Amino acid sequence: MKFSRVALPLITAATLFAAGCASHPYYYAQGPPPPPYASVPPLIARADHEGFRAGAEDGARDAYNGFGHQPRRDRKYHDTPGYDPALGPFGPYRDAFRSAYLRGYDQSFYHR
């Protein structure tokens, strides 16, 4: 059996092409499951509730009496009432309280 000059390169190319097309399984590791829904810590939830309520009361009072928009001058903003040491440290409570206070004050003062 005699191969022509054209047949040999064609057979070689077909063999290489078929070998390159062999399927190789691809395995991958599945990522970790998503973290569970993060709930708000009780300390922050309480600060948010107390701060918003206090800010809304003071904002409504200032708007009604015509005192002007001055939320950082109110005593409750500085004293941050409602803190319970059993729930956690004071710093995060104070920050969350003041943020919520300003939201409540603005909403109530501007009637939003």
pTM: predicted TM-score of the whole model, two decimal places: 0.66
Of the pLDDT bands very low, low, confident and very high (cuts 50, 70, 90), residue 21 is low
Provide the token pair at 71: 């939320």
Helix axes 90-109, 42-65, angle to 10 degrees: 30
| pLDDT for residue 1 | 52
Please spell the DSSP secondary structure of 5-64, one letter per residue.
TTHHHHHHHHHHHHHHT-------PPPPPPPPPPPPPHHHHHHHHHHHHHHHHHHHHHHH
Provide the token pair at 47: 């600060």
Residue 47 CB neighbour total at 10 angstroms = 28
Question: What does the DSSP 8-state code read for residue 108?
Answer: H
Across the chain, mean pLDDT equals: 85
Of the pLDDT bands very low, low, confident and very high (cuts 50, 70, 90), residue 23 is low
Backbone angles phi, psi at 86, to 5 degrees: -70, -20
Provide the token pair at 4: 């022509």
Provide the token pair at 60: 């409504």
Higher pLDDT, 14 or 96: 96
Higher pLDDT, 67 or 43: 43
Q: What is the pLDDT of residues 64-103, one digit of tens each?
A: 998 899 999 999 999 999 999 999 999 999 999 999 999 9
Q: What is the mean pLDDT of residues 5-20?
A: 66
